Amino acid sequence: MNSQLPQLFKENILQGTTIVQKQTYLKDLKGFFYHEAERELLLQNQLVYEVDAYFPVSAGTEGGLFFGVTRLQPGMVGNEYFMTRGHFHAIANRAEYYWTIEGHGQLILMNHEREICIEEMQPGSLHYIPGHMAHRVANTGNSLLSFGACWPADAGYDYTTIESEGFSARLCKVNGLPVLLTDEQQAL
């Protein structure tokens, strides 16, 4: 059996020869924010978040685990905080852990009935995301929000449900505080 070189998770950075990086820019988030016209006015090459991930087994391997670190920039589109796309897992019952490394934000969770709730993210907070829950993170602070994640290698991603239907509410800044607002409430 070949032994693997260990990856490093050091000074809050995931390092190693097999780390895969993915960046998401404002231009990749067309239609995600309520104020789409305001997103278009912003610098399209502005980085919103990046993920460093370690995939020790192939995607789809039953029983395997993936590990990732997401760095979400502070920023706003209109009254809405910078956020991740958000997704259900393709195998919907697959759960996941998130934990906050630095910064402040909210984890937004929504079930298939479109019931929604939020959990406050602050350094050290640990979040168990049950299966069948869409999950998205918004950075509500003025600094980088960095969080770790661990999820099953066969979970996969269902991005299309959120792309087409969105979450049932958005995290918006109201009188300086994060508040969940439905699109109907925004329109008032």
User: How far is Cα of residue 80 from the mean position of the Cα atoms in its chain?
Assistant: 15
The smaller minimum CB distance to ligand PAN, of residues 72 and 172, is found at: 72
Closest CA to 85 of 69, 97, 72: 72
List contacts with ligand PAN (CB under 6 A).
51, 68, 70, 84-87, 96, 135, 149, 151, 155
> What mask, x for binding Zn ion by CB under 5 A, covers residues 77 to 106?
-------------------x----------
Q: Using an 8 Å Cβ cutoff, are 70 and 146 in contact?
A: yes
> What mask, x for binding Zn ion by CB under 5 A, covers residues 41 to 80?
----------------------------------------
The smaller minimum CB distance to Zn ion, of residues 157 and 183, is found at: 157
d(CA 184, CA 45): 30
* Near Zn ion in 168-187, by CB under 5 A: none
As measured in angstroms, the least distance from the Cβ of 151 to Zn ion is 5
Query: What is the three-class DSSP state of 187?
Result: helix
Q: Please state the three-class secondary structure of 10-54 as a single string.
A: ECCEEECCCEEEEEEEHHHHCCCCCCHHHHHHCCCCCEEEEEEEE
The smaller minimum CB distance to ligand PAN, of residues 51 and 92, is found at: 51
Place of tokens 């299966």: 131
The smaller minimum CB distance to ligand PAN, of residues 128 and 176, is found at: 128
As measured in angstroms, the least distance from the Cβ of 91 to ligand PAN is 11
